[in-house]
Amino acid sequence: MSFPALVTSCRPSATSAAPPTVVCHTVLNDSAAGPVLYDATRRLPTIPHVSVGGLLYFHVARGCAHGSHVRWIPSSAAHLVKAAHARDGLPAAVVLEPNGPRSAFRLIGTRDGTVVASAVVRLRP
């Protein structure tokens, strides 16, 4: 009677999984496919598609010291799924879920009355 040999390796296996998406010590996404994290503190083109899991990921502050007050217009176009907060308690990054495949809205982040983050989303199915 013969038994098949069991072969194992001590070498680590390569993986194509993306590392978790972490902003200000908050894990925003830990799926194998990393999301697109838009930096709304810089000029962005209109965003036509969602990222991983049908969500949109935005930086709304530079760094983790000061966040921003975040809103989107119209507010019915999306809802907040998760936020990473800066040390001042305001969001530094947000994860939004559009309320439909053709959602359109403008994301605005303000600090001390000044716009510090902005993005336009116009989804195409």
- Classify residue 3: in a domain, yes or no: no
- Classify residue 2: in a domain, yes or no: no
Structural domain of 110: 21-122
- Classify residue 10: in a domain, yes or no: no
β-pairing, 56-59 with 37-39? parallel
- Classify residue 11: in a domain, yes or no: no
Alpha-carbon distance values, 117 to 37, 41, 71, 103, 113 (Å): 13, 4, 10, 19, 12
Pick from 106, 119, 124: nearest CA to 45:
119
- Classify residue 4: in a domain, yes or no: no
Mean pLDDT for all residues in the chain = 89
- Classify residue 6: in a domain, yes or no: no
CA distance 53 to 44: 21
- Classify residue 90: in a domain, yes or no: yes
82: exposed, middle or buried (Cβ count in 10 Å: 0-12, 13-18, 19+):
middle
CA distance 66 to 48: 29
CA distance 23 to 66: 13
- Residue-wise pLDDT for 58-117, tens only, equals 999 999 999 999 999 999 999 999 999 999 999 999 999 999 999 999 999 999 999 999
User: In CATH, what number is assigned to the domain containing residue 40?
Assistant: 2.60.40
* Domains identified in the chain, total number: 1
- Classify residue 34: in a domain, yes or no: yes
Q: What percent of the chain is modeled with pLDDT above 70?
A: 86
